[in-house]
Amino acid sequence: MRTLSIALLILCLSSARTPAGEFNPVRKIGDPSPAWKKLPGTDGKLHSLDDLKNRDVVVVVFTCNSCPYAVDYEDRLIAFHKKFASRNVALVAINVNKVTQDALPEMKKRAKTKGFAFPYLFDGSQKIAREFGALFTPEFFVLNKQRKIVYMGSMDNNPSPKKVSKRYLDDAIAAVLAGKKVPTKETIAFGCQIRFERKRRKRKKKSTTKPK
């Protein structure tokens, strides 16, 4: 999974894409953010977007325990939170995968081991990820004060910290806080595909009425 190429990601995205965003199948820049409500967190509390109404910026990252890409980005998430928390920026991590390794008890263990100081939430319905149009872990969304999406995609331009030359997320936050336009508004998120459950179609009940 770690060898998944950018070309393959583009192919996957193009096959699922609609005229919404450039790379997002559901949302486009400027859309109002979907609102999560009462999602359980690793801190034992229930969390909603409304809890963050006093924050100038909210960053949502879809992540998980089981994806090696997501794991590689954990230290970068911690560093990002330390850098921007004092500037009234909230970071919220959300996991929607339903495999055992990504269940809430395992999330709690991971959050404790890494010392996450930001909310790490679980949505078993997977609804919030579908509403955001998230496809990968990790995948980022920046919401401004009006809770409109002003950036979505990857945190930076390379999974390897030593090879990063563009920091899309940091640049987006700096622009929003300064009241300027976000320089790069949308990028391709690279990582593992979110494990969405397939929706089962309801079978039509056969009529038991005998023909006259």
Asked whether residue 201 is assigned to any structural domain, the reply reads no
Q: Around Cβ 121, how many Cβ atoms within 10 Å?
A: 25
Question: Over 70: is that where the pLDDT of 202 sits?
Answer: no
pLDDT at residue number 20: 83
Instruction: Tell me the per-residue pLDDT of 36-89, one tens digit each, with 9 for 90 and over.
Output: 999 999 999 999 999 999 999 999 999 999 999 999 999 999 999 999 999 999
Instruction: Tell me the per-residue pLDDT of 133-166, one tens digit each, with 9 for 90 and over.
Output: 999 999 999 999 999 999 999 999 999 999 999 9
**Confidence category of residue 8, pLDDT binned at 50, 70, 90:** very low
Asked whether residue 163 is assigned to any structural domain, the reply reads yes
Asked whether residue 103 is assigned to any structural domain, the reply reads yes
pLDDT at residue number 111: 98
Give the chain's end-to-end CA distance (angstroms, integer).
Answer: 60
| Residue labelled with tokens 């809430």 | 104
- Identify the CA nearest to 28 among candidates 138, 148, 144: 148
- Side chain identity, residue 145: K
Asked whether 141 and 148 are in contact (CB, 8 A), the reply is no
Asked whether 193 and 177 are in contact (CB, 8 A), the reply is no
Helix (H, G, I), strand (E, B) or coil at 89: strand
pLDDT, the chain, mean: 90
**Which tops the pLDDT comparison, 68 or 5?**
68
Asked whether 55 and 91 are in contact (CB, 8 A), the reply is no
pLDDT at residue number 208: 56
Asked whether residue 31 is assigned to any structural domain, the reply reads yes
Instruction: Tell me the per-residue pLDDT of 9-32, one tens digit each, with 9 for 90 and over.
Output: 444 444 444 458 899 999 999 999
The number of domains in the chain is 1
Full residue range of the structural domain in which residue 16 is found: 6-193
Asked whether residue 1 is assigned to any structural domain, the reply reads no
pLDDT at residue number 19: 57
The reported pTM is: 0.86
Asked whether residue 210 is assigned to any structural domain, the reply reads no
- Return the ∠ at Cα 75 (arms to 73 and 79), rounded to 5°: 115
- The pair of structure tokens assigned to 92 is 């919220």
Q: Check which CATH number belongs to the domain holding 174 and give it.
A: 3.40.30.10
What DSSP element (H or E) covers 83? Answer: helix 74-84
Asked whether residue 205 is assigned to any structural domain, the reply reads no
Asked whether residue 115 is assigned to any structural domain, the reply reads yes
